[in-house]
């Protein structure tokens, strides 16, 4: 077999594999949206669920998903940025840093159910926070930190050494070089990691069943006092998310339109993740252009 024929066969094979992947993904999304989009309406998105009768919505669960996402990323991003920058720029290569990287690899491969059980034992029981948004956010932070630390470290490490040396040669301190030269150049990779971690948070169910709970109190959306038991912003209340709600309906839903509610919630979850990812990439691109042009 000559080289030209082998190259053509390899090209066709790779295109075929890519086509199959796209076809599977499109089929999955098409199935979810085809069955779920007819159910979506403002009433469905904003109204609370019903237990025994038809016509309920997913308003509190939808809000809980975004609130948990924001709280989790507020905890995860600063810690992962600090750890990733330290591992890439300050930590010396020795047995200790090799051990830390090995532990990060091990933690990143933990099943979410294991992280959920850890969160249940430590945050829910030992710390006494009960089933709450705070317990769920901290458990998801433990779940996402290994991924984010690896992404930040690799993004910073992949910046050419010449850029570091140029900043230091101009008399800029090492920290200023990192913040004004390296981080803007590494921002696209970091944003990709944030998007991946956010998607995992938004679609996670197993870890939240044991930490954030499978119920939501009656929320008063006119009361934004975080200390109030009925406030949506109260971090110590239980919070059933959209992904957990889908699992719960399929497992034990007794309302007459349980299948329709599940289909609508799944479509809403897919659309929310898609819109969030596109929005995050757009905002990240704007921030990157602004930081590189200044």
Structural domain includes residue 249:
yes
Classify residue 184 as left (phi > 0), alpha (psi -120 to 50) or beta.
alpha
Alpha carbon distance 281, 283 (integer Å): 6
Model confidence band, residue 20 (pLDDT cutoffs 50, 70, 90): very high
CA nearest to 136, candidates 52, 44, 244: 244
Structural domain includes residue 54:
yes
pLDDT at 208: 92
Start-to-end CA distance of the chain, whole Å, equals 55
Alpha carbon distance 206, 189 (integer Å): 28
Alpha carbon distance 89, 294 (integer Å): 23
Model confidence band, residue 211 (pLDDT cutoffs 50, 70, 90): very high
Alpha carbon distance 19, 27 (integer Å): 12
CATH number for the domain including 277?
A: 1.10.3720.10
Alpha carbon distance 191, 43 (integer Å): 33
Structural domain includes residue 32:
no
Structural domain includes residue 120:
yes
Alpha carbon distance 172, 130 (integer Å): 48
Model confidence band, residue 192 (pLDDT cutoffs 50, 70, 90): confident
How many domains does the structure of the chain reveal? 1
Structural domain includes residue 31:
no
pLDDT at 288: 66
Alpha carbon distance 124, 135 (integer Å): 6
Alpha carbon distance 17, 13 (integer Å): 6
Alpha carbon distance 210, 103 (integer Å): 24
Q: Is the dihedral of CA 160, 164, 167, 170 positive or negative?
A: negative
150 and 88 in contact (C-beta within 8 Å)? no
Structural domain includes residue 29:
no
CA nearest to 205, candidates 279, 262, 152: 262
Structural domain of 77: 40-293
Structural domain includes residue 92:
yes
Inter-helix orientation angle 242-252/183-203, to 10°: 20
Per DSSP, helices labelled H in the chain are 3-36, 42-46, 59-85, 95-108, 112-119, 133-157, 161-169, 174-177, 183-203, 206-209, 242-252, 258-293
Residues, the chain, total?
A: 294
In this prediction the pTM is 0.85
Structural domain includes residue 16:
no
On the question of pLDDT at 99 being above 80, the answer is: yes
Classify residue 128 as left (phi > 0), alpha (psi -120 to 50) or beta.
left
Instruction: List pLDDT tens digits, range 123-175.
Output: 999 999 999 999 999 999 998 998 899 889 888 888 888 777 777 777 777 78
Model confidence band, residue 293 (pLDDT cutoffs 50, 70, 90): low
Rounded to 5°, the CA angle 272-277-283 comes to: 120
């Amino acid at each position: 077999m000559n080289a030209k024929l082998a190259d053509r066969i390899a090209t066709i094979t790779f295109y075929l594999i890519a086509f199959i992947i796209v076809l599977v993904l499109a089929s999955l999304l098409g199935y979810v949206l085809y069955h779920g989009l007819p159910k979506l309406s403002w009433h469905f998105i904003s109204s609370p669920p019903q237990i025994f009768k038809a016509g309920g919505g997913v308003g509190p669960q939808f809000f809980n998903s975004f609130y948990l996402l924001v709280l989790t990323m507020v905890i995860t991003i600063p810690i992962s940025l600090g750890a990733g920058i330290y591992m890439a720029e300050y930590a010396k290569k020795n047995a200790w840093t090799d051990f830390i990287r090995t532990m990060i690899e091990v933690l990143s491969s933990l099943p979410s159910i294991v992280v959920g059980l850890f969160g249940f034992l430590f945050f829910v029981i030992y710390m006494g926070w009960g089933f709450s948004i705070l317990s769920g956010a901290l458990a998801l932070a433990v779940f996402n930190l290994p991924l984010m630390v690896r992404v930040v470290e690799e993004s910073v490490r992949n910046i050419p050494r010449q850029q570091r040396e140029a900043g230091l040669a101009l008399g800029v301190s090492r920290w200023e070089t990192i913040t004004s030269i390296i981080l803007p150049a590494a921002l696209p990779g970091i944003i990709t990691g944030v998007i991946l971690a956010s998607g995992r948070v938004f679609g996670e169910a197993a870890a939240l069943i044991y930490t954030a709970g499978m119920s939501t109190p009656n929320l008063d959306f006119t009361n934004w006092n975080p200390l109030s038991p009925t406030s949506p912003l109260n971090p110590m209340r239980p919070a059933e998310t959209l992904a957990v709600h889908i699992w719960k309906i399929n497992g034990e839903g007794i309302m007459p339109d349980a299948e329709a509610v599940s289909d609508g919630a799944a479509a809403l979850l897919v659309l929310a993740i898609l819109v969030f990812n596109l929005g995050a990439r757009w905002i990240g691109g704007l921030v990157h252009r602004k930081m590189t042009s200044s």
